Amino acid sequence: MFKRIDHIAFTVTDREKSIAFYEKHFGFHQYYEHTVPVPAIEKIVYLKLGDTVLELIHMPDRPQLTGYHFCLESDDFDADYTRLKEAGIAVETEPHPAGARVSRETGWRRVVFRGPDGESIEFRG
């Protein structure tokens, strides 16, 4: 049976800009990059944060993402929110209470920021 999601993938128009964004603001680090035999894709890059893997599919000529997001867990919600806001990253949805799906999430809040290609980046904590 399946155990977990291996990675989350989405397309980006500027590979280097996206790598720098996720490394600087969210603590990811690049650990692998390769080319694929698909004409529209220039490279695929893998970034890691703990056990979380993002796959950035570099497609310079594709339209902006819509209707998509991923969510990270924060161990210091206020500090992370302030740091990202002060860095000038656009806020899509201001902080508000998040429903507790399990008891350890009681009192958590959520916020959604906008990534360099229009991707929505939620975090909770």
As to burial, measured by CB atoms within 10 angstroms (0-12 exposed, 13-18 middle, 19+ buried), residue 11 is: buried
Q: Could you tell me the pLDDT band of residue 105, with boundaries at 50, 70 and 90?
A: very high
Structure tokens, 80: 């992370």
Cα 45–chain centre separation:
13
What is the average pLDDT across 114-119?
91
| pLDDT value, residue 29 | 98
Q: What are phi and psi of 79, to 5 degrees?
A: -65, -45
In DSSP terms, which residues pair with 71 in a beta bridge? Answer: 122
With 90 as the cut, is the pLDDT of residue 104 above it?
A: yes
44-63 pLDDT, tens digit each: 999 999 999 999 999 988 77
* Higher pLDDT among residues 24 and 59, named by residue: 24
pLDDT at 65: 66
Residue 5 is predicted with a pLDDT of 86
Q: What is the pLDDT of residues 65-95, one digit of tens each?
A: 666 789 999 999 999 999 999 999 999 999 9
